[in-house]
Amino acid sequence: MKTASYHILRVGMAITFIWIGILIIKSPESWGGYVQPWVTNFLPLPLEQIMIGTAIFDIVIGILFLVDWQVWVAGLLAALHLLTVLIVSGITDITVRDIGLLAATLVLMLDDLPIKIKKNNHE
């Protein structure tokens, strides 16, 4: 059985991811401003569309956290997403916050790993 701390972290991360998704949908161009100029040269679609896609991705991750279903998959996707954010936005004053979020997503992923994978890791 999962601990209360796990559920508190899970719901907290759900709020963060869904809320960020909504804020990005509200003003994708502002959030696109965090993307480093060198990254925009490699984008296959306009930055605004990429940001809307990111928002939907964030909301889906948040919903998976919220309903406590396939949390390890959501945690893995969230960790990869945050790593991408760290790369494309560069090191800024708010990088520490993303590192904290990255750590939290890894905790959720590792705690919810299917028993099969956990067993293989122990062997």
Partner 1 sequence: MYIGAVFVIIRGMTFEALIFTFSILGISETVYLIKKRILSEKPVCPVNEDCTKVLSSKYNKLFLIPNDVLGLIFYIVCSLIAAFLVIIVQPLSLWYILLSVLVLVGSIISMYFTYLQFNVIRAWCFWCLMSACTIWLMGVTILLNNIL
CA dist., res. 53 & res. 93, Å (int): 25
Q: What is the distance between the terminal CA atoms of the chain, rounded to a whole angstrom? A: 22
67 or 80, CB closer to partner 1? 67
87 near partner 1 (CB under 8 A): no
68 or 98, CB closer to partner 1? 68
| Contact predicate 82/54, CB 8 Å | no
Closest CA to 78 of 103, 95, 96: 103
Tell me which of 5, 7, 48, 53 binds partner 1, using CB under 8 A: 7
> What would the two tokens of residue 114 be?
């299917």
Closest CA to 28 of 45, 10, 11: 45
List the interface residues with partner 1, window 12-71 (CB under 8 A). 14-15, 18-19, 22-23, 25-26, 66-68
| Least spacing, CB of residue 25 vs partner 1, in Å | 6
| Least spacing, CB of residue 67 vs partner 1, in Å | 5
CA dist., res. 80 & res. 62, Å (int): 14
| Least spacing, CB of residue 15 vs partner 1, in Å | 5
Rule CB under 8 A: which residues touch partner 1? 4, 7, 11, 14-15, 18-19, 22-23, 25-26, 66-68
